[in-house]
Chain A
Amino acid sequence: MSEELYYLLLKLPDYLGGHILLSMAALGVGLMVSIPLGVLASRRPKLSEYVLGTAGILQTVPTLALLALMVPLLGGMIGFVPAFIALTLYSILPILANTITGIRGIDASLTEAARGLGMNDWQMLGRVQLPLAAPVILSGIRTATVLVVGTATLALPVGGLSLGNYIFSGLSMNNITSTIFGCIFTALLAILMDQLVHLLELAVQRRSGRLAWCAAVGFAVVLLVGSYSPIAQAFAAPPRVVASAPFTEQYILSEVMKDALESAGFRVDQRQGMGETIQFYALKRDKIDCCVNYTGNIWVTLMHKKDAADAKTTYEETVRFMKEKYGVECLGKLGFENAYILAMREDRAARLGINTIADLARHRRKFIIAGDEQFFDRPEWRWVAEKYQLSFNEIKQMDPGLIYGAIKDDHVQVICAYSSDGRIAANKLRVLRDPKKVLPPYDAILLLSRRGSENAPLKEALRALVGKVEPAIMQQANLRVDVDEQSPRVAARQIQAALLRR
């Protein structure tokens, strides 16, 4: 546990710093956009309708969708910028709406008095309207602050660093410590920022310059804490970017690649939990250096193949495709496969004599099948269901972490799983063979973007991994994280130990 916490703390400067900078930049720019816009709109009722309408529509776009959309819109840019723009858009509505309401709510006799005394529009704005609307505007800023600090956790899928990295890697690896760690720090940061804005509210209320200074110093300190890690990094060589997807194996492989590169003298920037589509974008646009993907996955989702081929053909065609269409070099197979498979409890399968998917289809009894959120929407599932004419009593989508418990307790009888998952063997499950070769092979391959492949030492360092990660090693490592609740770092060290033994 203490080692676990140590590794979590190790990443705190990066994640907390990223979170702070992201939120503060988004809020800062949000303020700079929405207050002038609100002032302008408060003078023109027509404009305010349009502006509030647009901001309202932006607010209804699901956060994750808005974040993910930013990547292609920005030409494959990942990390800070897309997350920053999406969060800025989110921060606008509450501040804008409150600025307009605040200014409109000022007693007309006061604005007339201001004009009657000889203030021009700007003087009236600065001396009368903004000060009088300040309480309402500040309450809008408070709303935006909490919203943005909370939403910044979602920067992870587009490769942004934030406290969300703790939360989502914890969720996908069943690591409750990491999730709670991330939640607590996010909540603390949100409370702190909220209280700093509240301090500003008090400063306005009590007309206290000292309170306003305290708030300003508070913000400056938060910003300074946030800047520590980026500033420290700015003086070092630009890092190599290792991308990974949001599931256990990828978190482990991210650590393995990181260690391989670091021992070759590279500085490494891990971008974990990125969406796969976004990774491909980033690969193509040279925004990352390397990542691991799977031949069958590329075969189906990028090449849009209509049926499976043997492992050799799949590998060769995938490599050629990635080279030609993406300019991405494949360094080779890591040595294990992470295929979609169907599995049953060994005892039941033995009793019923079910060895293959075809046996399953032939069996009179109708079972309940469970799979993760995406499997039943993938073409592979359509292929299997059609070619074997499978039918089930019920199809259940559930969180990957719950699937093994469900089959153990016989709530479901068949599960879709991933072949490198250590829990298959640990739970005494029988993997059903695929005699018609409907499912494609999913060899894990190491992909390098152009900038990655142009660097010979980097290539050498990663080549050491090619062919070395055998299925048993990967399953073991996954099991350590998924079941023994060890951190991916600890699991990664076991893989390195296995590599060294050879």
Chain B
Amino acid sequence: MIVLENVSKTFDGGARYSVQGVSLHVPRGKMLVLLGGSGCGKTTTLKMINRLIDPTSGRITVNGRDVRRTDPVELRRGIGYVFQGSGLFPHMSVAENIAVVPKLLRWPKERLRSRVEELLDLVNLPAEQYRERLPRQLSGGQQQRVGFARALAAGPDVMLLDEPFGALDPVTRDELRAEFLSLRRRLGLTTVMVTHDMIEALLSADLIAVMNAGHLCQLGTPRELMSHPADEFVAALMASPKQQTQQLEALAAAPLRGGDV
């Protein structure tokens, strides 16, 4: 369970607020998507949850604990984090990357080994084949699979994802997203994900928080947002996938013209 109460952040002493007065509630086991254009404050909001950024004001609790009163290092080890473009360490093998957090927690060697195998299995990368590879020897999709495995390594019940599928090609993205969603449900992870992709948000989220210019525009289920947009901005946002779908259908229905092929 993640709760944000009236959280604000300014980087320049109050001249401009990147996040202003945001309150959110993510129930245990649910997935919230922070949705908005670039610079809307969604990534800042995400990073305040594990204290990569400290809020200027407001209160954040994770599983009932005020993050301000928790040691940031300890807090982060209990929260899985998946980075944009994987964030794998290039000098470590797949196995070493996955084992980073358990190693920080001083797990014994045997347990580390079996955990790495278990996790590689979970993200559908055969351990014998991939364990010793370096990140640069993997495709983008494989790298992000390892990124997921690394985030899950210490068995967190909270996951933060910063545009995790952003750098992938559409086919890989859909496949990986589907796998992640089923994994998430199976493990009952309380999840916050940042994206600017409308369709991704609608397909993934239990709850969507639409942000614009540091403010929270609307918080609701995908269905609520589609049927009752709170303002013009959300309405325009929700209309765009529908328009795209119509355009695609029109394209498919149009007769072939000579020279197109």
Cβ of A109 and Cβ of B84 under 8 Å apart? yes
A-facing residues in B127-153 (Cβ within 8 Å): 150
Q: Is B101 an interface residue (CB 8 A)?
A: yes
Inter-chain CA distance A123–B150, complex, in Å, is: 17
For A118, give its contact among B73, B83, B90 (CB under 8 Å). B73
Contact partner of A112 (CB less than 8 A), chosen from B83, B91, B100, B150, is B83
Is A115 a contact of B87 with CB atoms below 8 Å?
Answer: no
Chain A CB within 8 A of B89 CB: yes
Q: Find chain B residues with CB under 8 A from A110 CB.
A: 87, 89-90
- B52 interface residue per 8 A CB criterion: yes
Q: Closest chain A residue to B105 by CB distance?
A: A118
Which chain A residues lie closer than 8 Å to B101 at the CB level?
Answer: 117-118
Contact of A115 among B52, B74, B85, B88 (CB under 8 A): B52
- Give the docked Cα–Cα distance between A117 and B51 (Å): 11
B84, closest chain A residue (CB): A109
Given A112-B87, A128-B89, A131-B91, A119:B73 Cβ within 8 A: yes
B252 contacts A by Cβ under 8 Å: no
Closest to B75 in A: A118
Distance between Cα atoms of A27 and B89 in the complex (Å): 30
C-alpha spacing A128/B50, complex, angstroms: 20
- A113 vs B85: C-alpha distance in the bound complex, in angstroms? 11
The distance in angstroms between the C-alpha atoms of A384 and B75, with both chains bound, is 85
Which residue in A117, A120, A131, A132 is a CB contact (below 8 Å) of B100? Answer: A117
A123 contacts B91, C-beta separation under 8 Å: no
Q: Is the CB of B81 within 8 A of A116?
A: yes
Chain B residue with the shortest CB-CB distance to A132: B91
Q: Is A436 an interface residue (CB 8 A)?
A: no
Partner of A109, one of B76, B78, B81, B87: B87
A11 adjacent to chain B (CB < 8 Å): no
**Across-interface contacts of B77 in A (CB, < 8 A):** 117-118
Q: With contacts defined as CB atoms under 8 Å apart, how many contacts are there between chain A and chain B in the complex?
A: 53
- Interface size class on chain A is 10 to 19
Given contacts A116-B52, A117-B76, contact A207 B83 (CB under 8 A): no
Contact with A along B101-130 (1 / 0, CB 8 A): 100100000000000000000000000000
Q: A110-B87, A132-B90 are in contact. Are A119 and B104 (CB under 8 A)?
A: yes
Segment 104-134 of A: residues with Cβ below 8 Å from B: 109-110, 112-120, 123, 127-128, 131-132
A473 to chain B, nearest CB (A): 69
Judge whether B89 and A120 touch: CB under 8 Å: no
- A117, A120, A127, A207, most chain B CB atoms within 10 A: A117
What is the CA–CA distance of A204 and B46 in the complex, to the nearest angstrom?
35
Report B102 CB to chain A, min CB distance, Å: 11
- In the bound complex, what is the Cα–Cα distance between A131 and B96 (angstroms)? 13
B15-67: which have CB < 8 Å to A? 50, 52
Name which residue of chain B comes closest to A123, CB basis.
Answer: B104
In A401-457, the 8 Å CB interface with B consists of none
CB pair B73 A120 closer than 8 Å = yes
Residues facing A in B208-226 (CB within 8 A) are none
Closest B residue to A119 using CB positions = B104
Complex Cα spacing A128 to B96, Å = 12
In Å, the complex CA distance between A115 and B91 comes to: 17
Known: A109-B87, A110-B90, A127-B100. 17 other contacts (CB 8 A): A110-B89, A112-B52, A113-B81, A113-B87, A116-B52, A116-B81, A116-B87, A117-B100, A117-B101, A118-B74, A118-B76, A118-B77, A118-B78, A119-B100, A127-B89, A131-B91, A132-B89
Interface residues of B (CB under 8 A from A): 50, 52, 73-78, 81, 83-85, 87-91, 93, 100-101, 104, 150
Can you identify 15 A-B contacts, CB atoms within 8 angstroms? A109-B87, A110-B87, A110-B89, A110-B90, A112-B52, A112-B83, A116-B87, A117-B100, A118-B73, A118-B75, A118-B76, A119-B73, A120-B73, A131-B91, A132-B90
Leading 4 A-B pairs by shortest Cβ distance: A113-B87, A118-B77, A118-B76, A116-B81
